[in-house]
Amino acid sequence: MEPKKNSPFVGYEYKEATVPDEKASFYMDCYANFGWEADENVVTTSQNGLVTLRMKRDRKMINKTELTRLQRHFEACAKEISQLERSRTSAATVWALAVGILGTVFMAGSVFAVTHQPPIYWLCVLLAIPAFAGWIAPYFVYRRRVEIQTKNVHPIIEAKYDEIYQICEKGHSLL
Amino acid at 18: T
Q: Where are the beta strands (DSSP E) in the chain?
A: 12-20, 37-38, 45-47, 50-58
pLDDT tens digits for 92-151?
Answer: 999 999 999 999 999 999 999 999 899 999 999 999 999 999 999 999 999 999 999 999
Q: What is the pLDDT of residue 76?
A: 95
- Measured CA to CA, the distance from residue 133 to residue 115 in angstroms comes to 21
Q: Do residues 74 and 105 lie in contact, with contact meaning Cβ atoms separated by under 8 Å?
A: no
- Measured CA to CA, the distance from residue 161 to residue 168 in angstroms comes to 10
Q: What is the pLDDT of residue 5?
A: 64
- Measured CA to CA, the distance from residue 114 to residue 109 in angstroms comes to 9
Smallest Cα–Cα separation from 166: which of 30, 15, 26? 30
Q: Do residues 59 and 12 lie in contact, with contact meaning Cβ atoms separated by under 8 Å?
A: yes
Q: Find which of 9-18, 19-28, 46-55, 103-112 is predicted with most confidence, using mean pLDDT.
A: 103-112
Beta bridge partners, 163, equal: none
Q: Is 73 exposed, middle or buried (0-12, 13-18, 19+ CB in 10 A)?
A: middle
